[in-house]
Amino acid sequence: MEDITRIRAQKLRKNATKEENHLWYDFLRTYPVQFLRQKPFGPYIVDFYCYKARLAIELDGSQHYEGNGPELDAARMAYLQEVEKIKVLRFTNLEIKQNFEGVCAVIDRQVKAAFPSSVWPSASHLPPGEGYNRRSMKTVTIYTDGACSGNPGPGGWGAILQYGEFKKELSGGEAHTTNNRMELTGVITALKALKEPCIVELYSDSKYVIDALEKGWARGWKARGWVKGDKKPALNPDLWATLLDLCDYHTVHLHWVKGHADNPFNNRCDELAVAESRKFR
């Protein structure tokens, strides 16, 4: 049973939800004490656990409120509190999305209550690279576009990243590719250029990219081993796998824009993409 539970925990870590990742990266950059992900306790697995505070944190999806979900949760809570003697905090995914500050405030009180104030360094005393936290992430605006001649054929992509007064253009191409691969590559490269987790306002004229992310299609393909609902193989699984990981690392808000219209940023990305594709003709 222990081996089965451990294997389940490993799988859950690899397939963490966006809300779980959001909270996890906040823990890494906010607390001077260690949290563990998907920690087994007997037959159960808790989403997050802090040894020093003896605190478990659970995020509840819709399945917790369906069928016998409430009964199973009651048994789980009883085991954790009465047998393992740990404190349990429960939040819904919706709370993480809509009231992240409130969720963090509740966790802060529980964690800090277990330690003297001397344990908590100020932000300026945190180790290099840890001096910010998820709650004060930068908001970056990204525009991307892809182009391909022949489809398949020579292609290119372009991206613009903007943060305050700072603006950066990126572009690249391949000798033999497709339009959709260039659309995906533009988004991936732009997100990879960010050095820390950010709130990203992502603009693209690609329905392929926006719909697959916004409507959950890409996550469905991944869950089915890169097979679509019609049993046909999902295209570009290598790029989708990378993009989904990046969307978990950052908080990405998606925006579709009409291509070849009056948006100067989208038009500039198109110019960059076309220019790159012409290098391979």
Residue 268 parent element (H or E) = helix 264-278
| Residues 217-241: b if buried by 16+ CB within 10 A, e if exposed | bbbebbeeebeeeeeeebebeebbe
Give whole-number Cα distances, 112 to 23, 102, 131, 269, in Å.
17, 15, 19, 47
Single out the catalytic residue among 47, 58, 145, 174: 145
Give whole-number Cα distances, 104 to 57, 199, 220, in Å.
11, 17, 30
Residue entry with tokens 């990219």: 209
Single out the catalytic residue among 20, 26, 270, 276: 270
Single out the catalytic residue among 26, 205, 248, 276: 205
Single out the catalytic residue among 125, 253, 255, 260: 260
Residue 201 parent element (H or E) = strand 199-204
Cα dihedral: 200, 203, 206, 209 (round 10): 10
Could you give phi then psi for residue 167, rounded to 5 degrees? -140, 135
Residue 60: active-site member: no
Contact 215, 254 (CB under 8 A): no
Single out the catalytic residue among 20, 26, 146, 158: 146
Reduce the DSSP state of residue 167 to 3 states and report it. Answer: strand
Comparing C-alpha atoms, which of 216, 214, 207, 141 is closest to residue 179? 207
Residue 211: active-site member: no
Residue 270: active-site member: yes
Comparing C-alpha atoms, which of 24, 26, 14 is closest to residue 48? 24
Single out the catalytic residue among 183, 186, 248, 276: 183
Residue 255: active-site member: no
Contact 177, 171 (CB under 8 A): no
Comparing C-alpha atoms, which of 87, 5, 98, 3 is closest to residue 48? 87
User: Which residues are catalytic, by number?
Assistant: 145-146, 183, 205, 260, 270
